[in-house]
Amino acid sequence: MVHPDLISLGKHTYYMPDAANIGVYVSGTDAYLIDSGRDRDAAKRVLRLLRASGLKLGGIINTHSHADHIGGNAYLQRQTGCPIWAPEREAYFITCPELEPAFLYGGFPHGGITGKLLMAKPSRVTAVFQPPGSIEETPLQTLHLPGHSISMAGILTPDGVCFTADAFIPQDLLERHRIPFLYDVKTALETLEHLRRVEASCFLPSHGQPAEEITEAAEANRRRILEVTEVLLKLMRQPVSPDDLFKLTVEHFGIMLNHVTYILMRSCINSFISYLLNENRCTLSYTSNSALITGDVL
Ligand SMILES: [Fe+2]
């Protein structure tokens, strides 16, 4: 009997609701986790629920390497010796988590950005996979959902549940965060399109509730991404430095800055600028002391 704190999504699929949901797929007496939660506390709780259900941890499948998805890896692997699977290009960040704040910040990370929100404890990825495909030794299928991170995977269970990771965020979070965090805008838009065609009886985003269909949420995310590009293009009609563009954009969207949101938004807006440069919607030039971005060059 599976513990009632693990919410049923399908015949063999459950999840533990949390700030970052933890998926659970049961195969015989083994349970496979889809992500491990944001920290050791979440990991302790899910392990207790598995044990109370008479289940053994068969392994963790990480959808991507962000700290709130891999935060329980180290504890669970230390306690059980479980295998960890991850998309190949995400695995580098899981085994060497200081890469995450360094990558976002663009230099050696200071103490304000090396807490558990951005940097998990290191864990050992025992096997990598390349989505889409299957995960060896498990009955799970993977979807290729890049964009939010470099090589994020979704997970499809045999009983028709799709774990969508952070490919989209529900509308209430979209209103709160204003700009969804993206690494690659072009592939994020393609991923939203791809997700609409995935057949599943239930979809679970990492941050939110299960839903039978996600068209509206995916469309809201797409519209917000396009809105951000339009705002940026408007702000760069006159040549503008990256610093001023960042300042004007966060002002426009009313984003409150702190150590964490500053580097997340800085990195995300840089990704939007790269997208517009690669689409030939703006150019980059340099003066003696600054870079200048100029939009709408077509
Ligand atoms: Fe994420």
User: How far is ligand 1, taken at its centre, from the CA of residue 149, in Å?
Assistant: 7
SS3 of the chain = CCCCCCEECCCCEEEECCCCCEEEEEECCEEEEECCCCCHHHHHHHHHHHHHCCCEEEEEECCCCCHHHHCCHHHHHHHHCCCEEEEHHHHHHHHCCCHHHHHHHCCCCCHHHCCCCCCCCCCCCCEEECCCEECCCCCCEEEECCCCCCCCEEEECCCCEEEEECCCCCHHHHHHHCCCCCCCHHHHHHHHHHHHCCCCCEEEECCCCCECCCHHHHHHHHHHHHHHHHHHHHHCCCCECHHHHHHHHHHHHCCCCCHHHHHHHHHHHHHHHHHHHHCCCEEEEECCCCEEEEECCC
User: How far is ligand 1, taken at its centre, from the CA of residue 214, in Å?
Assistant: 18
User: How far is ligand 1, taken at its centre, from the CA of residue 228, in Å?
Assistant: 19
Distances (CA, A) of 163 to 15, 56, 85, 235, 274: 10, 21, 15, 36, 29
User: How far is ligand 1, taken at its centre, from the CA of residue 271, in Å?
Assistant: 15
User: How far is ligand 1, taken at its centre, from the CA of residue 127, in Å?
Assistant: 20
User: How far is ligand 1, taken at its centre, from the CA of residue 168, in Å?
Assistant: 10
Q: Note the pLDDT of residue 235.
A: 97
For the chain, what is the radius of gyration of the CA atoms?
Answer: 20
User: How far is ligand 1, taken at its centre, from the CA of residue 249, in Å?
Assistant: 22
Q: Enumerate the domain spans of the chain.
A: 7-226, 227-295
User: How far is ligand 1, taken at its centre, from the CA of residue 289, in Å?
Assistant: 35
Whole-model pTM over 0.85: yes
The pLDDT confidence band at residue 298, using thresholds 50, 70 and 90, is low
Residue 282, strand partner residues: 295
User: How far is ligand 1, taken at its centre, from the CA of residue 64, in Å?
Assistant: 7
Those residues with Cβ within 8 angstroms of residue 69's Cβ, 6 or more apart along the chain or in another chain? 20, 35, 36, 37, 38, 62, 63, 165, 166, 206
**Given a cut of 80, is residue 297 above it in pLDDT?**
no
User: How far is ligand 1, taken at its centre, from the CA of residue 71, in Å?
Assistant: 12
Could you say which of 1.10.287.4070, 3.30.2290.10, 1.10.10.10, 3.40.50.960 is the CATH number of the domain covering 227-295?
Answer: 1.10.10.10
Who has greater pLDDT, 298 or 249? 249
Q: Note the pLDDT of residue 296.
A: 81
User: How far is ligand 1, taken at its centre, from the CA of residue 69, in Å?
Assistant: 7
Reported for 50-57, long-range contacts at CB under 8 A and 24+ positions apart, including other chains, are 50/24, 52/3, 53/1, 53/2, 53/3, 53/6, 54/1, 54/29, 55/2, 55/26, 55/29, 55/30, 55/31, 56/29, 56/30, 56/31, 56/80, 57/30, 57/31, 57/33, 57/82
Q: Note the pLDDT of residue 245.
A: 98
User: How far is ligand 1, taken at its centre, from the CA of residue 54, in Å?
Assistant: 31
Q: Note the pLDDT of residue 215.
A: 95
For 58-85, the pLDDT digits (tens) are: 999 999 999 999 999 999 999 999 999 9
For 112-156, the pLDDT digits (tens) are: 999 999 999 999 999 999 999 999 989 999 999 999 999 999 999
**Given a cut of 80, is residue 174 above it in pLDDT?**
yes
For 9-53, the pLDDT digits (tens) are: 999 999 999 999 999 999 999 999 999 999 999 999 999 999 999
The pLDDT confidence band at residue 94, using thresholds 50, 70 and 90, is very high
User: How far is ligand 1, taken at its centre, from the CA of residue 280, in Å?
Assistant: 28
For 176-222, the pLDDT digits (tens) are: 999 999 999 999 999 999 999 999 999 999 999 999 999 999 999 99
Q: Note the pLDDT of residue 227.
A: 98
Which residues hold their Cβ within 5 A of ligand 1, which is an ion? 66, 166
User: How far is ligand 1, taken at its centre, from the CA of residue 148, in Å?
Assistant: 7
> CATH topology of 7-226 equal to that of 227-295?
no
Q: Return the CATH class of domain 7-226.
A: alpha beta
